[in-house]
Amino acid sequence: MFNYQQFRHIPAPGWQLGWSWAKKEVIWSMVGAQATEQGDCSKFKSAPPHCCKRDPTIVDLLPGTPFNQQIANCCKAGVIKTFNQDPGNAASSFQISVGLAGTTNKTVKMPKNFTLRAPGPGYTCGRALVGRPTKYYSSDGRRVTQALMSWNVTCTYSQFLAQKTPTCCVSLSSFYNDTIVNCPTCSCGCQNNITRPGSCVNDNSPYLQSAINGPGKLTGQPLVQCTSHMCPIRIHWHVKLNYKDYWRVKVTITNFNYRMNYTDWNMVAQHPNFDNITKLFSFNYKPLTPYGGRINDTAMFWGMKFYNDLLNQAGPLGNAQSELLMRKDSETFTFQKGWAFPRRVYFNGD
């Protein structure tokens, strides 16, 4: 499984891959992953297979799995990083031994109805397509063998399938104005204790700990701090200073979710002055050019390893911040009509 998305990773609790067998295949054994259910294997008397379900669901193994159950690119608890942040960990692999499937490319039939589940059911998979058989090279590179058959399945992501409401909101402020433009009310939902009791909790509530460990903890259901916007993530953009040739922006990302640590988070923003980023403090940065390199107005930011790449649960440590120093272009720079604020913001791809 390759994650070609530039700024959307699959976070914990990881991916679940499923399909339907074309015939009466079974999985005898697996390395690098496991099926969540064995199914009915009563017709096998001696050594039952690993899985006999017609529609198995496969999950990754955990870190620390014994070496005899591992293969390369496995055992990361289903977490796949983005291609930009960590290309070395943007893939996941496992190997299965299939029985009752046939022995030639005429008798082996492709599985169908592939599904990819990740936190938020946002992926839709196409049908499997037969491609060129994969070739394997010997360690000295002088001999090539090829697979019996290879097929590819492409899964695409839709934010609207994953969640109908936004997962973050943006607030704005500047040094030349006393007021803060807060996140719009009910950006990600509204407080309504009548229809959704316990949908949020105040930070000074005596029942905070019991709510965190209450219903929904094991499923990862968000428990957000009671705010006017009800978003788990708020991104604040503050125009901080104005110099003769440069201007400075402070970006703060705040986590209002009491049940979620955002590991390896990332933020993508669009602004016309990103082609002149001069200095960045405490974030990693990479320019994105979705228009084929002609326009450089989109930037990806993420935390530094072992420093601020973990956005902690709601609380005193639940924020990350950085400052951007950008050089002015005299022909375009202005503080009028909101030009200094971002055009679009994504957090973890949404």
pLDDT of residue 197: 61
**Threshold 0.75, pTM exceeds:** yes
pLDDT at 12: 82
Show Cβ contacts of residue 47 under 8 Å, excluding neighbours closer than 6 positions.
Answer: none
Q: Are 34 and 127 in contact (CB under 8 A)?
A: no
301, β-bridge pairs: 267, 285
| pLDDT tens digits, one per residue of 63-120 | 999 999 999 999 999 999 998 888 889 999 999 999 999 888 888 999 999 999 987 6
C-alpha dihedral, 321 to 327 to 328 to 332, nearest 10°: -80
Q: Which residues of the chain are under the pLDDT cut of 70? A: 120, 193-198, 219-220, 293
Give the CATH number of domain 165-347: 2.60.40.290
In the chain, alpha helices (H)? 159-162, 208-212
* Separation between Cα atoms, residue 315 and residue 318, nearest integer Å: 5
**Domain ranges in the chain?**
16-160, 165-347
CA 273 to centroid of chain Cα atoms: 27
Distances (CA, A) of 301 to 103, 233, 330: 49, 15, 26
pLDDT digits (tens, 9 = 90+) for 182-205: 999 999 888 876 555 667 888 888
Whole-number pLDDT of residue 124: 93
pLDDT of residue 198: 65
Q: Is 129 exposed, middle or buried (0-12, 13-18, 19+ CB in 10 A)?
A: exposed
